[in-house]
Amino acid sequence: MKIAADLTEVRTGPVRSDQAEVRSDRGGSGSLLGPGPAAVLALQRTAGNRAVAAAVAAGRASAPLQRKVGLDAGILGGPSLGARVKKAVTGQDSTFTKLSRAADDYQKAPTALEEVALLGTMLGLATFWEQRFRTERTRRLLPSERERLPKVQAFQTMARGELPKAREQLRYIADIHRSGAASSNPAMAAGAQTAEPGVKMGAGAGGFGHLSGDATFKVPENMAKLTAGKGFTGGGMPGTRKDAGDLIAKYKLTDAEVAAVEVYTAEDYKYINHALSGWDEGIARDLPGVGGRRGTDSDVTGAKAEGLQHGNVAMAAMRKLPPFVGEVYRGMRMPKKRFDEQFPEGATPDFKYLMSASTKRSVAEKFAQPKPGDKGDAGSVSVLLFMNSKTGRDVSPLSLVKEEGEVLFMPPTTWGVYHSYLRRMSVAKDPNALTTFYEVGMTEKA
């Protein structure tokens, strides 16, 4: 993970051609936020999944807004009188009860494979229920039972919309496992076989060819153990702190989503950023800096396709997590002229791409340090952003570099600069601390 290996594109006005290179910081297009009204996205980002689920249930939000949120059994309602009587007399569950139970299981499904299987089950049960409703029982149903038809139909539509997304995650996690197997990691042999019959894998028999060394060896192994059931009881995933297992269970993250965040926090962000922002030149420039890959440095097209996959699945995970409210820090080096343009007091910069920050000032300061011998750093100044977060996501429990306390912001975010000045420290707190830097205080606008 890098808090600021390069510059984030910050827009306070029209973007000029000489600003093209600043797309490289862990960024992505705003179109990646997924379908649904912007107002509902804002609701999810600020109020969380429960508020979105309530909006979906009330018919105020589009169903396929977010993975899992819409497919809540509570939307269907409780068992009918007829279902309760049938259960009491025969001991058997009605089709509707089975559908509700499958929806509950789907909410708890820890893997993409289980999600795909349960979505298929729910679609089959919903279709069977609707057919019986229309052909056999319509005249005998109570008015309250008849009200279920539009709910079941809406549920079917949601499930059909979720199935392709779940299959994409299944392809993704299978390719993660295959990447580990292709790298001769013996622990990955079983995980590499994970697939749904008939689902074609995306990155070929060898999985992802551009994963960094850390991602290739650590992520597939973590996911294989996670799929085996470890990490969902609050005990933590092997190689992680307890808070990782708690986070995964609480916010219903799938193995694919956890894997994508881990990949992103490794060196792979270098090409994921550029893939999300569509900057092929950036991929060609920075791909050689990602060590341990099986792919070639000249394979820009392949790295771009893989980067988009990693970025999209990582964003799916972020949308499930709660907002982080509090102060975070971001360090960077940038030309003085650009600093003066983008961070004057009173400015309202818009960050159009995924932005990374840290809960630890010391981490941000490291990324703002001068780079002796780097010609590209000549004429740059150290900048330290003090950021009052409202919608960031704390991904540190899932990060491969947990000590960095990483918080990520989904695009777009708008900030208000309330102070900006040069600061000089007479005594450094530690050898890595900055002694001269530009301090910028910013508050995220709702």
Note if the bond before 412 is cis, omega within 30 degrees: yes
Q: Does pLDDT of 260 surpass 80?
A: yes
Q: What is the mean pLDDT of residues 16-21?
A: 29
Q: Above pLDDT 70, what percent of the chain?
A: 65
380-394 and 350-351 strand pairing: unpaired
pLDDT, residue 406, reads 95
Residue with tokens 């509950």, as numbered in its chain: 104
- The CA distances from residue 166 to 153, 171, 230, 254, in Å, are 20, 9, 21, 10
Q: Does pLDDT of 337 surpass 90?
A: yes
Q: Does pLDDT of 58 surpass 50?
A: no
Instruction: Band the pLDDT of 278: cuts 50, 70, 90.
Output: confident
Instruction: Decide: helix, strand or coil at residue 417.
Output: strand
pLDDT, residue 89, reads 56
Which range (20-34, 47-61, 365-379) has the least confidence? Answer: 20-34
Length of the chain: 446
> From CA 6, how far away is CA 158, in angstroms rounded?
40
Q: Where are the domains of the chain?
A: 10-33+323-444, 38-167, 176-319
pLDDT, residue 18, reads 29
Q: 93 versus 238: which is more confidently predicted?
A: 93
- The CA distances from residue 358 to 5, 42, 82, 396, in Å, are 13, 23, 55, 9
Range among 5-9, 130-134, 235-239, 277-281 rated most confident: 277-281
Q: Does pLDDT of 444 surpass 70?
A: yes
Range among 33-47, 314-328, 360-374, 401-415 rated most confident: 314-328
pLDDT, residue 235, reads 37
Q: Which two tokens stand for residue 416?
A: 């208000």
Which range (101-115, 134-148, 330-344, 345-359) has the least confidence? Answer: 134-148
Identify the CA nearest to 336 among candidates 267, 383, 301.
383
Instruction: Band the pLDDT of 248: cuts 50, 70, 90.
Output: confident
The string of pLDDT tens digits covering residues 210-247 is 999 889 988 888 887 776 655 433 333 444 456 788 88
Residue 30 neighbours by CB distance under 10 Å = 11
> From CA 363, how far away is CA 349, in angstroms rounded?
23
Q: Does pLDDT of 40 surpass 50?
A: no
Q: Are 193 and 201 in contact (CB under 8 A)?
A: no
> From CA 440, how far away is CA 26, in angstroms rounded?
20
Q: Which two tokens stand for residue 2?
A: 């890098």
Q: Are 271 and 254 in contact (CB under 8 A)?
A: no
